Each structure stands twice: as structure tokens, then as C-alpha cells.
């Protein structure tokens, strides 16, 4: 693959590639095509760290698709720019919900940890972004259902990241979709999950949550964010259809592939 060069490459004397310890994972799938990139993004090309795009550059549809198809979408960003990426994720999802809904209380709860645990909030928002992409693809475009769905995904993310939800009022953690997501995200589409929920019992939000959590873990390298375990997005989604047949709703997996191919 021909690695896309930066729009305005620096001279050899000016360009300083960060050390591996100064970089943190960033999945290309979270970045929107034809929009400005919130951080510098690097890729590992045959053992060499390469600046793929600089902060503020335009990520064209062509470059985004080229990186995804070549399996070069397990990108990296400078640790010192993490807050810019977090703000990008935050702004990309905040316009999706009703500001008068209970989701605002959940968002405020998460933001209390933004300074001390930015990686935790980043993980939660990253999964919510994936979930919203899938929700829109299947026609969940607004209203109470989308609000409950966002709230459920935020609470699930907080739970998986070890945050204590006891300070939230019960009213902010209730709702059929919310409870279903929190209880059923580990279920399998074929009904052989830990609770044995049938396909009929697995509502659409539950199926989306199950797929999103598995996808995020695979593309980020697992709980330890291991660079050796990170897998490219298309390989992960195709493996869900072939190797993990029965675990996830194949229509949602196919929809996720279509989303990334746009």
C-alpha cells in the first residue's frame, strides 16, 4: 500500500516522531470522512512510525477508505493531544440527544471523571459513537428511543470501565432499553449467551450494544490496549460473520461494514 503523505509534510529537520510511549491508540473508524482531523495521526508502516495526517488536515473519503481497506486503520495519536480527540468525540454525539432528557445527568456524571480519567471517558464516548452510527443505519433517528439507547450505552460504558454508578438516581438508570442493554450486552444472537435470551428477547439496542463492545475491544487491543492485539476494522467485522457466526446479528455486522465503506 502507498501510505498517504501529510498535506504539508515537514522537512526532515522539523519533523519529530513521538516515541511509542508518547502515543495512544486511535481507531480510524471513529473519524468522519471529509472533516478536519482533531489530532496528529500516526501509523506503524512496516515497523516505522509515519505521520499520516496532521491536526487540522482534511481526512478525505479516499484516504480514509484506502487506510481501512489496507488494514492500516489502527492509528495512534500523541498522548498530549488526547483532550482534542475527546472533545471531537464529545461534540460528535452531543447533538444527538434531547437536552431535556435524563441522558444529560448521565453525561454530567461522566464529565466529573474527564480530568482524572480521560481514557475512561474516551472509551465510553467512542462506543457511543459506534452505537449511534449503527442506530441511524437501522432507522433509530431520534425521540425517546434514541435517548434511552444513548443513556444505556453510556451507563454500560461507565460500568465496563469500573465507574461507580450508585450516585446516579434510579430514574436516570431506568427504562426498558437501558436495563436491557445493561443486562444483555453479553448475549449471543443465536441464543446461547449467559442468560440464554432468544433472538426475540434481544431487542435491537441489545444487539447493537453486543456488537459495539466486541468490535471496540478487538480494534483497541483488549483491556490493556495492546498494540500486538489490535486488529483492523474490516477484518474484525468479517470475522464476526465467519468465525463468530451466531454471536452477532449478521444484518448489523453488514450494516457496520457499509458504514465504514462510505
Alpha carbons within 13 angstroms on the beta-carbon side of residue 202 total 25
User: Cα-Cα-Cα-Cα dihedral of 103, 106, 111, 114, to 10°?
Assistant: -120
What pLDDT is stored for residue 167 in this prediction? 83
What pLDDT is stored for residue 13 in this prediction? 46
- In three-state form (DSSP H/G/I as H, E/B as E, the rest C), the secondary structure along 121-167 is HHHHHHHHHHHHHHHHHCCCCCHHHHHHHHHHHHHHHHHHCCCCCCC
E-strand stretches of the chain: 23-27, 35-36, 41-45, 48-53, 58-59, 74-78
What grid cell was written down for 198? 432468544
What average pLDDT does this structure show over 202-218?
96
pLDDT category at 47 given cuts 50, 70, 90 is confident
How many other CB atoms are there within 10 angstroms of residue 144's CB atom? 11
Q: For the chain, what is the mean pLDDT?
A: 88
What pLDDT is stored for residue 9 in this prediction? 44
Q: Please list, in sequence order, all residues whose beta carbon lies within 8 angstroms of the beta carbon of residue 232, skipping any fewer than 6 positions away.
A: 68, 71, 72, 73, 74, 219
Nearest to 182 by CA among 191, 192, 173: 173
Homologous superfamily (CATH) of 95-261 is Hypothetical protein af1432 (1.10.3210.10)
> Considering only 120-124, 166-170, 191-195, which range has the smallest mean pLDDT?
166-170
What pLDDT is stored for residue 3 in this prediction? 57
> Considering only 226-230, 252-256, 258-262, which range has the smallest mean pLDDT?
226-230
pLDDT at position 174 over 50 = yes
Would the pTM count as exceeding 0.85?
yes
> Greater confidence, 101 or 191?
191
What average pLDDT does this structure show over 112-117?
86
Q: With b meaning 16 or more CB within 10 Å and e meaning fewer, what string describes 89-128?
A: bbebbeebbeeebbbbebbebbeeebeeebebbbbbbbbb
Would you kindly state where each structural domain of the chain is located, as residue ranges? 1-81, 95-261
pLDDT at position 144 over 60 = yes
What pLDDT is stored for residue 12 in this prediction? 42
What average pLDDT does this structure show over 12-32?
84
> Greater confidence, 14 or 148?
148
What pLDDT is stored for residue 131 in this prediction? 96
> Considering only 43-47, 188-192, 234-238, which range has the smallest mean pLDDT?
43-47
Kindly report, residue by residue over 51-102, the tens digit of the pLDDT. 999 999 999 999 999 999 999 999 999 999 999 999 999 999 987 777 667 7
What pLDDT is stored for residue 175 in this prediction? 79
Amino acid at each position: 500500500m502507498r501510505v498517504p503523505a501529510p498535506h504539508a509534510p515537514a522537512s526532515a529537520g522539523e519533523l519529530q516522531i513521538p516515541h511509542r510511549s508518547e502515543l495512544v491508540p486511535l481507531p480510524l473508524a471513529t473519524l468522519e470522512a471529509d472533516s478536519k482531523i482533531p489530532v496528529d495521526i500516526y501509523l506503524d508502516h512496516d515497523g516505522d512510525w509515519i505521520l499520516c495526517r496532521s491536526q487540522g488536515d482534511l481526512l478525505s473519503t479516499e484516504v480514509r477508505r484506502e487506510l481501512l481497506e489496507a488494514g492500516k486503520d489502527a492509528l495512534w495519536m500523541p498522548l498530549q493531544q488526547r483532550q482534542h480527540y475527546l472533545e471531537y468525540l464529545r461534540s460528535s454525539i452531543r447533538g444527538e440527544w434531547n437536552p431535556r432528557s435524563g441522558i444529560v445527568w448521565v453525561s454530567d456524571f461522566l464529565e466529573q471523571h474527564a480530568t482524572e480519567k480521560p481514557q475512561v471517558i474516551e472509551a465510553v464516548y467512542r462506543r457511543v459513537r459506534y452505537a449511534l452510527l449503527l442506530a441511524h443505519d437501522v432507522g433509530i433517528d431520534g425521540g425517546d428511543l434514541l435517548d434511552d439507547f444513548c443513556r444505556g450505552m453510556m451507563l454500560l460504558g461507565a460500568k465496563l470501565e469500573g465507574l461507580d454508578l450508585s450516585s446516579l438516581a434510579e430514574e436516570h438508570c431506568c427504562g426498558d432499553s437501558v436495563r436491557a442493554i445493561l443486562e444483555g450486552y453479553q448475549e449471543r444472537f443465536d441464543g446461547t449467551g449467559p442468560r440464554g435470551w432468544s433472538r426475540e428477547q434481544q431487542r435491537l439496542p441489545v444487539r447493537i450494544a453486543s456488537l459495539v463492545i466486541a468490535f471496540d475491544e478487538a480494534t483497541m487491543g483488549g483491556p490493556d490496549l495492546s498494540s500486538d492485539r489490535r486488529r483492523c476494522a474490516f477484518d474484525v467485522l468479517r470475522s464476526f460473520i465467519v468465525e463468530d457466526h451466531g454471536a452477532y446479528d449478521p444484518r448489523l455486522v453488514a450494516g457496520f461494514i457499509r458504514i465504514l465503506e462510505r
